[in-house]
């Protein structure tokens, strides 16, 4: 599993616009007065940049990723207060959780398996650490104007999203409900908020890359209409509106859940 810096840069404005601000502020509060934040699958540091306007003081960040080039970008966003960790995320025991006050992940957990999320919940519960997971794909996609193959392509894409992305069978569109159930069973108070991408013609570059990725995945999952669907959707870009559903999750341990 890996993403290019160019793709991450292209999607970042949509990600920042989509995040639920209330839940983001609650995550900042959960991080405490002297925040030490571990960001799983940090990429170039989009989560760091999303948090920055809401922090009363600079946080000490621990970006975690397997890609050293992306980690260097993330460190540059932290004003010298980042300690990067090049780690295989499948190794939960290697996560740098000592003295952390919050763990975050963005657009990551829908790529992970139920077993991996259970393991993460156990590790965070043992340390009473809050967890903020943003932009979990929820399986909902809508386009305007509509195309005949929209539903078939969405179903095929969702099947593909449940395939192995490096962590075992991925949660895909079931991620948000699974996260809530798993962390709830581990004793956390779980808060949720919708965070959909809402893309218009002004986001044509992002839509173009998104559509190509969806069509490729849907074709791999057996959608024979995917190539024609892609051509139809690309032709509609000058007036296209797109909704891609996500959910943000904040899981608070028992000592914070009553706040």
Tell me the domains of the chain and their CATH numbers.
5-141+170-198+243-252 (3.40.50.150)
Q: What is the mean pLDDT of the chain?
A: 94
Range of lowest pLDDT (53-57, 82-86, 97-101, 238-242): 53-57
The pLDDT of residue 255 is: 81
Point out which residues pair with 36 in neighbouring strands: 60
Per-residue pLDDT of 60-83, as tens digits, reads 999 999 999 999 999 988 777 899
């Amino acid at each position: 599993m890996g993403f290019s810096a160019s793709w991450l840069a292209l999607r970042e404005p949509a990600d920042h616009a989509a995040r639920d601000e209330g839940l983001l502020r609650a995550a900042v509060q959960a991080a405490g007065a002297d925040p030490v934040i571990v960001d799983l699958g940090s990429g170039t540091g989009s989560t760091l940049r999303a948090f920055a306007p809401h922090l009363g003081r600079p946080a000490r960040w621990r970006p975690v990723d397997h890609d050293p080039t992306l980690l260097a970008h993330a460190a540059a966003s932290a004003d010298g207060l980042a300690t990067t960790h090049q780690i295989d995320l499948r190794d939960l025991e290697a996560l740098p959780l000592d003295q952390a006050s919050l763990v975050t992940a963005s657009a990551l957990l829908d790529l992970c398996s139920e077993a991996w999320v259970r393991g993460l919940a156990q590790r965070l519960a043992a340390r009473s650490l809050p967890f903020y997971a943003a932009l979990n794909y929820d399986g909902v996609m809508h386009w305007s104007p509509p195309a005949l193959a929209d539903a078939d392509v969405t179903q095929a894409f969702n099947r593909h999203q449940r395939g192995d992305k490096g962590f075992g069978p991925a949660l895909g569109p079931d991620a948000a409900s699974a996260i809530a159930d798993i962390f709830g069973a581990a004793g956390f108070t779980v808060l949720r908020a919708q965070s959909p991408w809402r893309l218009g013609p002004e986001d044509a570059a992002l839509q173009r890359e998104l559509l190509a990725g969806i069509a490729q995945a849907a074709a791999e999952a057996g959608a024979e209409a995917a190539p024609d669907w892609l051509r139809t959707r690309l032709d509609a870009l000058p007036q296209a509106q797109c909704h891609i559903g996500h959910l943000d999750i904040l899981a608070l341990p028992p000592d914070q859940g009553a706040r």
